[in-house]
Chains A and B, each alone.
Chain A
Amino acid sequence: MSRVRKTLQIPLLAILALWAEMALADWETNLTQGVTEISREVYWMHMAVMGICAVIGLVVFGVMAVSIIRHRKSRGVTPATFHENIVAEVIWTVIPFAILIGMAIPAAKALIKMEDTSDADLTLKITGYQWKWEYEYLDKDVRFFSNLAETSREAAALDSGIDVTKMEHYLLEVDNPVVLPVGKKIRFLLTSNDVIHAWWIPEFAVKKDAIPGFINQMWTNIDEPGTYRGQCAELCGKDHGYMPVVVEAVSEEEFDAWILEQQELAKAELESGDREWALAELMERGEKTYQSACAACHQPTGTGIPGAFPALAGNAEMLADLDGHIDTLINGRAGTAMQAFGSQLSDVDIAAVVTYARNAWGNDTGDVIQPSQIKDAR
């Protein structure tokens, strides 16, 4: 008996040592506890189920190990001949069933809580696009797009030569994070403009698909201020890995101030569409818009991807037909990946990006398109 105990001690100690080492080395190996009541409940349920599985595993593999050690032909045993035992078979049908019921009850309770989106203090509408997120604070007139941060996009190019391991939050940084207040029940409405995406923040334990033509709901209530990061979790095409989710959770006062600021910015943006813009101004704005809205498909230098996305540099069709160019931008092209950007971009943005595409990468048409022209074209 003591021999068996000794032989068992060694691997057990080794496993413990390995576990301790991995915990110390700060390699993330487990689910986050998160920052909401639900996420903590999910975490502990995860730990409990994993624990139950580990115990069952130890018993099953332990019995198997004993059998392999003791019941081997080389020890000169004669095999038994039994091949059924009703009592044993009933026991190992009933006991797992009971364990499963024990797990199913708390799981059902948690699920019921998670699906109750009623009585929210704030509603955020999230729309997935290939490949960015749009956030709209309902009843607050605040709406914006959130793209992968420029630094990450540059580093993520094939053979960019940038050491991404030195970057903090590589692929998990956006240009416009979504800002949410702590201590409020926030309802999320999810939908999509093109294909199915999924919005996920591990710290909130919320993940749900954004489906074109349908609206899904979920909710959270964040305990602690901070920055929380997640990613799109449903394959949505080429740049599926490049549409992160970043949430800044702030106090209620900060949130109110932020909303006010956004409303001011939106007003200024709207007014800027009424004045004349110079070529240089449009080119500068256009390049920014192009890199965030167009470059994923048409590539940063307008080369496109043969067979998948047309080149814009030297694109004779586009350059010959200005109205067609503007129309394609506003209304998209049915049956292709070209989206209708009319609902995504402001008049200024569209004017700027059309001007940019007609003057960059050797497309020297000299065309200057004013926001007012876009307004008329809509």
Chain B
Amino acid sequence: MNAQATHADHHDDHGPAPGLMRWVTTTNHKDIGTLYLLFSLLMFFIGGLMALIIRTELFQPGLQIVNPHFFNQMTTMHALIMIFGVVMPAFVGLANWMLPIMIGAPDMALPRMNNWSFWILPFGFGIMLSTLFMDGGGPAAGWTLYPPLSLQGGDSFPWLIFSIHILGVSSIMGAINVVATIMNLRAPGMTYMKMPLFVWTWFITAYLLVAVMPVLAGAVTMLLTDKFFDTSFFNAAGGGDPVMFQHIFWFFGHPEVYILILPSFGIVSEIIPTFSRKPLFGYASMVYATGSIAFLSFIVWAHHMFTVGMPLAGELFFMFTTMLIAVPTGVKVFNWLSTMWRGAMTFETPMLFALGFVVMFTIGGFSGIMLAMTPIDFQYHDTYFVVAHFHYVLVPGAIYGIIGACYYWLPKWTGNMYNETLGKWHFWLSTIFVNILFFPMHFVGLAGMPRRIPDYSAQFADFNAIATVGAFGFGFSQLLMVVLVYKCVKGGEKATDQVWEGAQGLEWTLSSPPPYHSFSEQPVIK
């Protein structure tokens, strides 16, 4: 099983090409993983800057720094960037780095496509960001692009659609690569039910991506033809239906929500057993729960649109199916708790982020159950209560999973231990501020503040001011991570191969850092 030794004997071993061209022409899964992760980090700060502009404007009532049109551009772009530019590329980056070395494969199955799927991303986002400087500004109709409002967009509109197509192509290629790798390149003896949970959750996520990204592409193409080629898909005056767009969009959009969380489920399922020094509880039920969530994600979409005036039967159906999601999600949380139960836990930074994930994701899950109930959703719909809900599942949910994964595998990637003190500071500051940021949003939402408004009545002022303080605290805390990663790449205490005392799995049998080409000969799993 010592792949390093096997590798050293390999006669046509070669390292990376020298210079910058290495990064442009690379087909190596580790290089591409690094590119994805760095790109995601850069976009995290760009999207974060937009969030700070939003929160600064909302710090007190009255309009102080931006006009309402620009405010709407910020809310729209913040969402597009955080979803398509941060969480999704970060997951693909982690998949690139980890899937091959977790299943004993030499690389991803389709390395050239891998290069291509990364390198079209910067162009896609270059186009998207450039719309901010066009006549009439960037897209301002919300990331959901509901017509007829989105059709009122200025010069930015066709560019936005073009960039969404590029991002979609990139995601589909990434997902195909993941599926091909997992199905074909598993080491002998690694049956499906022996795959690490991170591999499983990504496997299912990849299917979701392949299924729904084309739906999004279709929806935005119909917008394009409605705007420029006189079709009337969503134009009631021409026999179309604006609500049909919402149905198509959320048929993509709800599975997309799980695309943004399932890999984090997998990450947490790797981290908690390691630091509890105890095998994952209920492995099989974790896999089935993930599958059930993925299946349910296709039949709950209209809970995003309870107020559009669906027939009663539709409202009841989508309420019941949505509530059902709580069951497999609950199973996952209970399994994580049982993994910790009677373990021997230590609390290094990855474990802290995983525990933070379990607690705060569950809080987001609770508000999700409340939102699922149609009669009370009429009160919550399109208020800050919804904003609080999805930020709880996406920030201390999805993003905490990604950050936890980075700390967990950083010693493996760099060969150096990171600074644990700095990591703990990062966790505690993030966790305190993220709650100061998002918890008050529950209150203003229940008190009646609609979302996507640049200004508000004085009764909402106090909690908005608190949230803004939290936003700045959370934003600046993330700079600690940049310092930490930089220092870790530069040097530090050498990491062992296993890195963590309780770590199990193929990736920990490789050296730290792993050789440029690993598992050129497949390990055998008994």
Contacts and interface: CB of A to CB of B under 8 A. Distances in A.
Interface of A: 27-32, 41-42, 45-46, 49-50, 53, 56-57, 60-61, 63-64, 67-68, 71-74, 77-85, 88-89, 92-93, 96-97, 100, 103-104, 107-108, 110-112, 114-115, 155-160, 162-165, 167, 169-172, 190, 194-196, 198, 200, 202, 205-209, 211-214, 216-217, 230-242, 305-308, 337
A268 B363 CA distance: 59
A238 B68 contact: yes
| Chain B: interface size category | 35 or more
Interface stretch (B417-425, B449-457, B511-519): B449-457
B152 interface: yes
B458 A214 contact: no
B149 A237 contact: yes
Contact of A205 (B359, B378, B382, B446): B378
Interface string B224-247: 000000000001110001110000
B342 A206 contact: no
Contacts of A67: 337, 340-343, 345
B514 to A, nearest CB: 27
A29 to B, nearest CB: 4
Given A67-B341, A169-B457, A170-B61, A198 B330 contact: no
Contact of B241 (A29, A195, A214, A240): A214
A45 B375 contact: yes
A216 B315 CA distance: 14
A217 B69 CA distance: 31
A81 B447 contact: no
B279 interface: yes
Contacts of B6: none
A27 B135 contact: no
B276 A68 contact: no
A300 to B, nearest CB: 13
Interface of B: 60-64, 66-69, 72, 135-137, 140-142, 146, 148-149, 152, 154, 235-237, 241-243, 276-285, 307-309, 312, 315-316, 319-320, 323-324, 326-327, 330-331, 333-334, 337-347, 355, 358-359, 362-363, 366-367, 369-370, 373-376, 378-379, 381-383, 443, 446-448, 450, 452-459, 461-463
B379 A205 contact: yes
Given A60-B337, A165-B461, A241-B453, A202 B448 contact: yes
Contacts of A207: 307, 378-379, 381-382
Contacts of A214: 236, 241-243, 309
Nearest to B236: A213
A131 to B, nearest CB: 10
Given A164-B61, A232-B450, A307 B136 contact: yes
Top-4 shortest CB links A-B: A213-B236, A241-B453, A28-B447, A216-B309
Contacts of B282: 83-84, 89
A73 B242 contact: no
